[in-house]
Structure 1
């Protein structure tokens, strides 16, 4: 663990994992309204194994009482009052400090889960120094559709998530075509191995898409023109190439 200091003077711990070789870039990992618990540290270690410096700031230090990780009921109960107890200004300041702590290694992505997924989505338009944002099943994302995204944004939802209904996801897609959204036949917390809602197949698919997204925008590879790749990938293709008529955004699968 290391200690970081936000712009407002708040000091908080963060878990940092470094790759064995020269970093390709960095990933900020945001927790499920918990601290830098074992599940989040494991995720950070996974990104480090892929070649990225990973840092997981303990946003919970802003004042929310810790609960056991990946308990399906507790994160939902705690998450419902997270914004009321802590607000978003403080956590966003902490996220900025985490970005600043690793930006020297290259471009930076942000990945968040549940409450952290919502904060990752907000971060895309509220903090500086990010190359892309990825959010997993963040309650509240579908209600934050007003602003055009400033950076490439990828979101994963579960079809059986009681906190984000499928019809709300459909409406979000229509209102924010600049966001790449994928859905899975799974519930809230489908990526959390310690939880009752863990879905190995959904988690594997989401991780593959997340890693591809990070490699494209953090490593700076030339964009690949995939069908349904989203507005950002299309925007980076050569200007002389016209946008295909069947680019309707990511499929609902």
Structure 2
């Protein structure tokens, strides 16, 4: 789940493993291939969802690909019979096309989705399928406030353009792209999860593990602490604690499944 070097912190990412992994499990439940002999998990991260894939398809040969050494170190500790590969998504293809290519919360990090999907489609066998999930909440307060903070006078020259703005297209765009790539049985839907988070500043802790990674790649030490404090104050207003002490975090995602 990483790009541009290893800026990922597996422990930070796993702080909210339950709500983070739920969309991936929902995607797996809708896998478009009933009995794949080979599966690729693109951006496998810590490998927890790769294990769920293995549990669902016990006979399949599974490859988990990621370009974060920290994430893959966690994945390898599972001890599972899975081929873990460190690689850049746009520079890697499996040795042979896979019957199922699964990608959970990864492709939003890679620009130019027509090119991305063409590359990913080349990983799919002649009778295989795709299962993709991406966040589509880049206009939510969590992301808007990060961009606004980064555009402030102290930060704009350092990190003003580092954050993703809206890398994920509308559903109809993906329908046409997948059709042009020779896929049929295309199913696209969106879900908005209402994550109920525990603890202090939980939305800030969530985005530290994902959306803020481009910022953390550019600033460290006191600068990072100052940015986080400024942004965190805005988040507390946008996502106040409920009377029961929990924090509600709406999160919209798009799901794509298709097969040849």
- The TM-score, its normalising length taken from structure 1, stands at 0.34
Question: Which structure is larger by alpha-carbon Rg, 1 or 2?
Answer: 2
Q: Which has the higher contact order (CA 8 A, sep 6+)?
A: 2
**Relative to total residues, which structure has the larger strand share, 1 or 2?**
2
